[in-house]
Amino acid sequence: MREFGYQRVFDVPGAVALLGTDPEARFLGGGTNLVDLMKAGVERPALLVDVTELPLGRIEATADGGLRIGATVTNSDLAADPQVRRHYPALAQAVLAGASGQLRNMATIGGNLLQRTRCGYFADLTKPCNKRVPGSGCPAIEGEHHNHAILGASEHCVAVHPSDMGVALTAFDAVVSYETADGPGELPLAEFYLPVGDTPHLETALPSGALITGITLPPNPVAAVSRYRKVRERASYAFAIGSIAAALDVRDGLVREVRLAFGAVASRPWRAREAERLLTGGPASAEAFAAAADAELAAAETLPHNAYKVTLMRNLVVAVLTELTEEATR
Amino acid sequence: MAQSTSSVITLNVNGEKRTLPVDHRTTLLDALRERLDLTGTKKGCDQGQCGACTVLIDGRRAVSCLQLAVAAEGREITTIEGLADGDQLHPVQQAFLDLDGFQCGYCTPGQICSALAVIEEHAAGWPSAATTDVRPEAGVPPLTADEIRERMSGNLCRCGAYVSIVQAVARAAGVETAQAAPALPQQGRTEEGTAA
Amino acid sequence: MGATRIPGNITQGSTAKGGIGESTLRPDGTLKVTGEFAYSSDMWHEDMLWGFTLRSPHAHAEIKSIDTSEALAQAGVYAVLTYDDLPTDVKNYGLEIQDTPVLAHGRVRHHGEPVALVAADHPETARRAAAKIKVEYVQLPVVHDEQTALAEDAPLLHPGRDDHHAGHVPHPNVVHRQPIHRGDVAAARARADVIVSGEYVVGMQDQAFLGPESGLAVPAEDGGVDLYIATQWLHSDLRQIAPVLGLPPEKVRMTLSGVGGAFGGREDLSMQIHACLLALRTGKPVKIVYNRFESFFGHVHRHPAKLWYEHGATKDGKLTHMRCRIVLDGGAYASASPAVVGNASSLSVGPYVIDDVEIEAVALYTNNPPCGAMRGFGAVQACFAYEAQMDKLAAELGMDPVEFRRLNAMSQGTLLPTGQVVDSPAPVAELLRRIKAMPLPPERQWETAGESADVRALPGGLSNTTHGEGVVRGVGYAVGIKNVGFSEGFDDYSTARVRLEVVGGEPVAVVHTAMAEVGQGGVTVHAQIARTELGVTQVTIHPADTQVGSAGSTSASRQTYVTGGAVKNTCEAVREKVLELGRARFGSYHPAWATAELLLESGKVVTDGGEVLADLVEVLEGEAIDLELEWRHRPTEAFDLHTGQGNGHVQYSFAAHRAVVEVDTELGLVKVVELACAQDVGRALNPLSVVGQIQGGTTQGLGLAVMEEIVVSKEAKVRNPSFTDYLIPTILDTPTIPVDVLELADEHAPYGLRGIGEAPTLSSTPAVVSAIRAATGLALNRVPVRPEHLTGT
């Protein structure tokens, strides 16, 4: 690990200003991903600006009935929050499905959004990786890729985003707030993560030097009937090989509103807008769910060892929407 | 601006203030083990993937391998060495001992610190991934064997003492059930001839 | 901080009690729950240095040059060692074949092979210095499977072999080959009404013990070295270490420190010689601790295997014959491969009566990671295949799979394919009957749990599963046979020193062996044996070290049998001495001293009729009785290299499992609802420990069934050396494990006991996979079974 300076900051302008003093500075939240990557030599900051004492640790209702979640709220506190559990149950479930109790106590939601991929080649300094060393190549395409992307990937990178929380936030149209030296800004989650293209090393649209200050969930009545479901290779404490966040409003057998996002299939949480479009106004039936999933997954491009994900995601969509239909009409 | 890469910090460990200079790269785990002579906290993976290094920070369980020591300054740290009251074991320690909730014992300090926190998290009403309905209206889920399993799943035990660990946590939490009772073998006797 | 932290005596509180047969608690238990127990990674010495190992990034390469100058020039670096620095002509080591270089010489044969060592004042300094060692490699073609290994022009892993297997193997890239022929397979095959065959594959499993390889070497004033180490067999390490160091064995003093799990992975050396070399070179104590990444390269793994089997049976369900070919990938160095071949071949038939067999097992040399000992070795791979075959045969015959197995189950008196008679109870049919008779967990718990689905009961719990529509229950059975102790003519013995004396007015027994306590509870049993045999309450466990004779390895399910037997034997000799003393001192006071059978109970000498003759304290009268004796089990013999005949084994261990799984066929998720085990243990010396061993072995078998595999690329490189990518079961993956223990004494063994540690690892895997097959109808000829194998693509 490279030697680094460390400063704890107590106010947002101070944090942003301090980060601006060193192009190699990074913000430190819970450290559950950053410290791990520093040990591996993937991240080599010269200065860590510890943001955990910033006054960003609250979850508050917004005037319009949404929720504002401070960036330093821990995953545990987010999942335990009664408002989150009541109005956005899939978000609580997504957070609880991730990592372990210990890690959830440490990890902050700001850091969670900025998690790096768990692609084995990304953390292996002896291997090329376009995300780590632009232009060096992507060995996963020819190598170990059974948990790699089937949607939105490119010949330059097929890694997937590891967040569970981000999948639920994507389904619920969350907006990320940030602060820069030039003032505050906002990014809807749909625009927060950049497409892979030929720049897999550029992951978010956050301006350089920006500090994530929080996430706003717009009021979203449909989210009250929502679920997160995660498929992984063991029952707990493992990253997803496929996951889904879904919310559904069904009246008289027809889908009034639906939200659908996929995890572990793309470089970012994947909002299934095509499926949502097809479902809205149509029948809430297994056939319709399957057809919508198929339409969303028509764009899937598989590699020799990850083609199973197409079937998996299709079955996930059908299973979870079927359950939500029962719950919504109960 | 060149930043200093080390600091003199004061860690509050098991109720005792310990001042030491640390290179910023030092994790809390290494500070405890290599600097403060508290080797009860174990290093299993150093990557947050096994839970052997679990300690309590401000009363909450955390993996000390991903916690920088310098960032733990000012927080209350409790390690396995801080649980017993003299010769009187903490009830969680006693339950692990009595129910043989370990074999090699390497994961045990982490399991015990984690179990302590699991019991408190559950008492505080936190849901888990095993909770059927996370909505607050659904109330606090009973601490069933599956709830214990899910909540303890961040602590790997390669010896496979899990069945006893579930029992030990249940006993320490005061929710011992028929399912969680220790399973001593039946002293069996064959009903058929052995040379059948 | 004190000057050193090293292991000390373990004395249980005075409340400890319990002889054999009782569920006494571990003497080291309190230390383990308080964090005081000193593991090898906790060893500490004032002024110590830290060692680090530079490893090969390639699976197969020629080393053109190594330049250590820049590394040596780093501040804080005390030594950098390569092959050229090895002090003697002995530069290799190995369990059976000394083919493993202490440091690579001109060539590396697997990914992660040690190339150079660094000692520095801080682990990070050592790591950085190692990165500055310049090694010029020229990559060589990689041998990665049977085809590339046995090709006529295959690169030879070890050209010019002169080991004792070299002369009889068909190709120099075959470590060892063991054929077994018995009966007339052609004739038996002609009698078969049904014949089934199949090819089965077992992935590479890792021991994945939680406490990585570590130890502390302290140079001594006499030019020797003190080594504090976590291992499975101190004296085997010593035999391999001392010649490399050029020291007589008595100058390499080894002490066992706390072992964070082993499971076979500490049978081979890891950092032992390296730490000693650095300590002797620098004159300073040197500690080496592997990190998790390094640990995946620092020990051998379970042999991945390809197994082809053919069985026949008559229509009334009697097995006619078996043919099999088992190919084990031993990787770059021999390690335990010859013994793995011996087990795989001699136990390939399973616990069944089959008179006509043609068996062949081979282990290959390849550039894959070296494979060796892991719990149940050889037998685990075979059991997965033959139990799949039993299910296939039963299905083909339209018979119940358990009844089919019972019909063909071996029993006491059965002749093994090796010609050896099973001369102790072999209650295979009874174990199967018991496991089948155990009540099944309720069906579809999510439906019976109440009005709404209790999704917790579904595969993977709430977050993972469908609503139950696609969830199918399956039940599967399996049974296995494992040999206990070292086989094939190995002189398998142990040594125990027992000292009985009066301390503080109370008789105390000190038990001193070199047995590696790795969590199996050996020290618990030693204290129980001493209490039973010597009638004392207080037992002190001396740290295991090389100041006492060898205990053999903590492997092959052998320690309670062999070192337990040694402790019992020495205790009996000590008891005789006590009685001699007693007769001399008090014999004239009571005729029973001369005539009765005398025992030691509750600190007294008593007759078998219960009459108290004297207090132990009075008999000893300040004298200490201190004996060290060796004890060995019945000898075995090697298998004939052509026919496989020979009385190769000393004892067998049998376990049967029933797995109940619920499979979400849509998502490919498996929930093992229950994994019940019935096992014959001969005699349960500590029932609590017995259950723990059975549950632990069962859990590791579950891991192999559904998740555990080291992924090795075509370039023979390990792709998943971390606990994020190499998954082992969590507590949530582990079901309830009801255990039914049968105790049929083996009259040849101490107390009638049977080695127990490995058998439950065998049948657990095939039982789980059988249950998944039952639920899905899929063939599933490979473990681990992953979600992607169940959803289809």
Instruction: Yes or no: say if C484 and C561 are a contact pair by the CB < 8 Å rule.
Output: yes
Confidence of residue C391 (pLDDT cuts 50, 70, 90): very high
Decide if C730 and A120 are in contact by the 8 Å CB cutoff. Answer: no
Q: What is the pLDDT averaged over residues B111-126?
A: 98
Over the stretch A277-316, which tens digit does the pLDDT of each residue have?
999 999 999 999 999 999 999 999 999 999 999 999 999 9
What's the gap in Å between the CA of B73 and the closest CA on chain A? Answer: 10
Decide if A311 and C791 are in contact by the 8 Å CB cutoff. Answer: yes
CA angle A251, A256, A257 (to 5 degrees): 130
Best to test chain C binding among B94, B163, B192 (most C CBs inside 10 Å): B163
Q: Which fold has domain A5-50?
A: 3.30.43
Over the stretch B161-190, which tens digit does the pLDDT of each residue have?
999 999 999 999 999 864 544 444 443 333
Give CA–CA dist A166/C196, Å, rounded: 50
Residues of A with CB below 8 A from C669's CB? 231
* Coil, helix or strand at residue A262: strand
For residue C5, the model assigns a pLDDT of 84
B25, B54, B61 member nearest A3 (Cβ): B25
Q: What is the pLDDT averaged over residues C572-601?
A: 95
For residue B186, the model assigns a pLDDT of 40
Give CA–CA dist C291/A270, Å, rounded: 36
Q: What is the pLDDT averaged over residues B138-159?
A: 96
Residues of B with CB below 8 A from C288's CB? none
* Range list for CATH 3.30.465.10 in chain A: 56-330
Residues of C with CB below 8 A from B49's CB? 292, 722-724
For residue B194, the model assigns a pLDDT of 32
Decide if C719 and A126 are in contact by the 8 Å CB cutoff. Answer: no
Q: Which fold has domain B91-173?
A: DNA polymerase; domain 1 (1.10.150)
Q: Which residue matches tokens 């197994």? A: C307
Q: Which helix (H) or strand (E) holds A237?
A: none
Interchain contact A37–B (C-beta under 8 A): no
Query: How much of chain C exceeds pLDDT 90, in percent?
Result: 93
Residues of C with CB below 8 A from B44's CB? 210-212, 260, 292, 723
pLDDT at C497 over 70: yes
A228, A305, A315 member nearest C463 (Cβ): A228
* Range list for CATH 1.10.150.120 in chain B: 91-173
* Range list for CATH 3.30.365.10 in chain C: 426-486+647-791, 493-632
A6, A97, A106 member nearest B66 (Cβ): A106
What's the gap in Å between the CA of A316 and the closest CA on chain C? Answer: 7
Distant-in-sequence, close-in-space partners of A39: CB < 8 Å, separation ≥ 6 = A1, B46, B47
Question: Nearest residue of C to residue A231 by CA position?
Answer: C464
For residue C464, the model assigns a pLDDT of 45
Say how many CB pairs under 8 Å bridge A and C.
95
Instruction: Yes or no: say if A52 and A72 are a contact pair by the CB < 8 Å rule.
Output: yes
For residue C666, the model assigns a pLDDT of 87
Interchain contact A149–B (C-beta under 8 A): no
For residue B57, the model assigns a pLDDT of 98
Please tell us whether the domain made up of C493-632 is placed in CATH 3.30.365.10: yes
Decide if C667 and A312 are in contact by the 8 Å CB cutoff. Answer: yes
- Whether the model pTM is above 0.95: yes
Question: Nearest residue of C to residue B26 by CA position?
Answer: C124
Interchain contact B3–A (C-beta under 8 A): yes
Confidence of residue A266 (pLDDT cuts 50, 70, 90): very high
Lowest mean pLDDT among B75-89, B153-167, C13-27, C534-548: C13-27
Q: Which helix (H) or strand (E) holds B38?
A: none
Token readout for B21 is 């200079």
Task: Give the pairing type, strands C538-541 and C625-632.
Answer: unpaired
Give CA–CA dist A12/B126, Å, rounded: 30
Neighbours of B (≥3 Cβ pairs closer than 8 A)?
A: A, C
Decide if A31 and B23 are in contact by the 8 Å CB cutoff. Answer: no
Confidence of residue C13 (pLDDT cuts 50, 70, 90): low
pLDDT at A186 over 70: yes
Query: How much of chain A exceeds pLDDT 90, in percent?
Result: 98
pLDDT at C452 over 50: no
Decide if A52 and B71 are in contact by the 8 Å CB cutoff. Answer: yes
Decide if B63 and A7 are in contact by the 8 Å CB cutoff. Answer: no
Q: What is the CATH number of domain C426-486+647-791?
A: 3.30.365.10
Say how many CB pairs under 8 Å bridge A and B.
126
Over the stretch A70-129, which tens digit does the pLDDT of each residue have?
999 999 999 999 999 999 999 999 999 999 999 999 999 999 999 999 999 999 999 999
Q: Which fold has domain B6-82?
A: Ubiquitin-like (UB roll) (3.10.20)
Residues of B with CB below 8 A from C32's CB? 102, 105, 108
Radius of gyration of chain A from its Cα atoms, rounded to whole angstroms: 20
Q: Which residues pair with A223 in a beta bridge?
A: none
Give the number of other CB atoms < 10 A from CB of residue C168: 12
Q: Which fold has domain C44-140+212-259+266-298?
A: Aldehyde Oxidoreductase; domain 3 (3.90.1170)
Distant-in-sequence, close-in-space partners of C147: CB < 8 Å, separation ≥ 6 = none
Confidence of residue A65 (pLDDT cuts 50, 70, 90): very high
Q: What is the pLDDT averaged over residues A34-50?
A: 97
Over the stretch A240-251, which tens digit does the pLDDT of each residue have?
999 999 999 999
Instruction: Yes or no: say if A237 and B153 are a contact pair by the CB < 8 Å rule.
Output: yes
Instruction: Yes or no: say if B112 and B81 are a contact pair by the CB < 8 Å rule.
Output: no
Give the number of other CB atoms < 10 A from CB of residue A217: 24
Structurally, at CATH architecture level, domain A56-330 sits in 2-Layer Sandwich (3.30)
For residue C458, the model assigns a pLDDT of 56
B4, B48, B149 member nearest A103 (Cβ): B48
Q: What is the pLDDT averaged over residues A134-146?
A: 96
Decide if A5 and B126 are in contact by the 8 Å CB cutoff. Answer: no
Residues of C with CB below 8 A from B153's CB? 730-732
pLDDT at C532 over 70: yes
* Coil, helix or strand at residue B10: strand
Decide if B98 and C25 are in contact by the 8 Å CB cutoff. Answer: yes
Decide if A229 and C724 are in contact by the 8 Å CB cutoff. Answer: no
B42, B132, B166 member nearest C455 (Cβ): B132
Residue A27's nearest CA partner among A9, A1, A2 is A9
Query: How much of chain B exceeds pLDDT 70, in percent?
Result: 89
A235, A238, A311 member nearest C792 (Cβ): A311
Decide if B146 and C461 are in contact by the 8 Å CB cutoff. Answer: yes
Decide if A105 and B60 are in contact by the 8 Å CB cutoff. Answer: yes
How far is CA C421 from its chain centroid? 25
Over the stretch C203-255, which tens digit does the pLDDT of each residue have?
999 999 999 999 999 999 999 999 999 999 999 999 999 999 999 999 999 99
Instruction: Yes or no: say if B132 and B141 are a contact pair by the CB < 8 Å rule.
Output: yes
A96, A126, A234 member nearest C733 (Cβ): A234
* Range list for CATH 3.90.1170.50 in chain C: 44-140+212-259+266-298
Residues of C with CB below 8 A from B109's CB? 33, 35
* Coil, helix or strand at residue C535: coil
Decide if C740 and B186 are in contact by the 8 Å CB cutoff. Answer: yes
Residues of B with CB below 8 A from A111's CB? none
B7, B126, B133 member nearest A80 (Cβ): B126
B23, B48, B137 member nearest A32 (Cβ): B48
Give CA–CA dist C681/C690, Å, rounded: 8
Residues of C with CB below 8 A from B129's CB? 461-463
Interchain contact A50–B (C-beta under 8 A): yes
